[in-house]
Amino acid sequence: MKFIPHTNEELCQMLRDIGIENTAELFQDIPSQIRFNRELAVEGGLTEIELQRHLFSMAGLNQGVEENICFLGAGAYDHYVPSAVKHILSRSEFYTAYTPYQPEISQGVLQSIFEYQSMICLLTGMDAANASMYDGASALAEAALMACAATRRDQVLVAKTVHPEYREVIKTYLRGPAIKISEIAYQQGLTQTDDLNNYLDKNTAAILVQYPNFFGCIEDLVELAERAHAVGALLVVCADPIALGLLRSPGQCGADIVVGEGQALGIPLSYGGPYLGFMACKEKLLRKMPGRIVGQTVDVDGKRAYVLTLQAREQHIRRDKATSNICSNQALCALTATVYLSLVGRRGLRQVAELCLQKTAYTRNLLSSLPGYQLAWPTPVFKEFVIKTKVSPKVINQKLLQYNILGGLDLGQYYPELKEHMLFCVTEKRSRQDIELLAERLGAIS
Which phi and psi angles does 81 have, rounded to 5°? -110, 115
Q: What pLDDT was estimated at residue 296?
A: 93
Q: What pLDDT was estimated at residue 325?
A: 63
* Residue 16 forms part of a structural domain: no
* Residue 35 forms part of a structural domain: no
Global confidence as pTM: 0.88
Q: What pLDDT was estimated at residue 320?
A: 62
- Given a contact cutoff of 8 angstroms between Cβ atoms, the answer to whether 196 and 223 are in contact is no
How many domains would you assign to the chain?
2
Each residue of 104-122: pLDDT tens digit?
778 888 899 999 999 999 9
* Residue 7 forms part of a structural domain: no
If we measure between CA atoms, which residue out of 144, 127, 112 comes closest to residue 294?
112
Q: For residue 425, give the CATH number of its domain.
A: 3.90.1150.10
- Given a contact cutoff of 8 angstroms between Cβ atoms, the answer to whether 155 and 179 are in contact is yes
CA 320 distance to own-chain centroid: 28
Peptide bond into 290 cis (omega under 30): no
Q: What pLDDT was estimated at residue 108?
A: 86
Range of the domain at 369: 69-79+346-445
CA 80 distance to own-chain centroid: 17
The answer on 376 and 274 residing in a single domain is no
The answer on 309 and 413 residing in a single domain is no
The answer on 253 and 144 residing in a single domain is yes
The answer on 383 and 275 residing in a single domain is no
Q: What pLDDT was estimated at residue 197?
A: 87
Q: Of the candidates 286, 310, 340, which is a domain's last residue? A: 340
Q: What pLDDT was estimated at residue 431?
A: 97
The answer on 239 and 143 residing in a single domain is yes
The answer on 152 and 94 residing in a single domain is yes
The answer on 303 and 390 residing in a single domain is no
The answer on 182 and 155 residing in a single domain is yes
If we measure between CA atoms, which residue out of 182, 168, 178, 167 comes closest to residue 233?
182
Long-range contacts of 217-221 (CB under 8 A, 24+ apart): 217/161, 217/188, 217/189, 217/190, 217/377, 217/379, 217/380, 217/381, 218/247, 218/379, 218/380, 218/381, 218/382, 219/159, 219/161, 219/190, 219/191, 220/190, 220/193, 221/248, 221/250, 221/253, 221/254, 221/255
Q: What pLDDT was estimated at residue 99?
A: 65
Q: Which residues of the chain have pLDDT under 50?
A: none
Q: For residue 219, give the CATH number of its domain.
A: 3.40.640.10
* Residue 10 forms part of a structural domain: no
- Given a contact cutoff of 8 angstroms between Cβ atoms, the answer to whether 123 and 225 are in contact is no
* Residue 88 forms part of a structural domain: yes
* Residue 97 forms part of a structural domain: yes
Q: Of the candidates 340, 368, 401, which is a domain's last residue? A: 340
Q: What pLDDT was estimated at residue 41?
A: 86
Q: What pLDDT was estimated at residue 316?
A: 57
Q: What pLDDT was estimated at residue 106?
A: 81
- Given a contact cutoff of 8 angstroms between Cβ atoms, the answer to whether 159 and 166 are in contact is no
The answer on 194 and 176 residing in a single domain is yes
The answer on 368 and 332 residing in a single domain is no
Each residue of 323-347: pLDDT tens digit?
676 656 678 899 999 999 999 999 9
CA 446 distance to own-chain centroid: 34
* Residue 196 forms part of a structural domain: yes
The answer on 189 and 102 residing in a single domain is yes
The answer on 277 and 255 residing in a single domain is yes
- Given a contact cutoff of 8 angstroms between Cβ atoms, the answer to whether 213 and 386 are in contact is no
- Give the number of residues written for the chain: 446
Q: Of the candidates 307, 340, 373, which is a domain's last residue? A: 340
* Residue 15 forms part of a structural domain: no
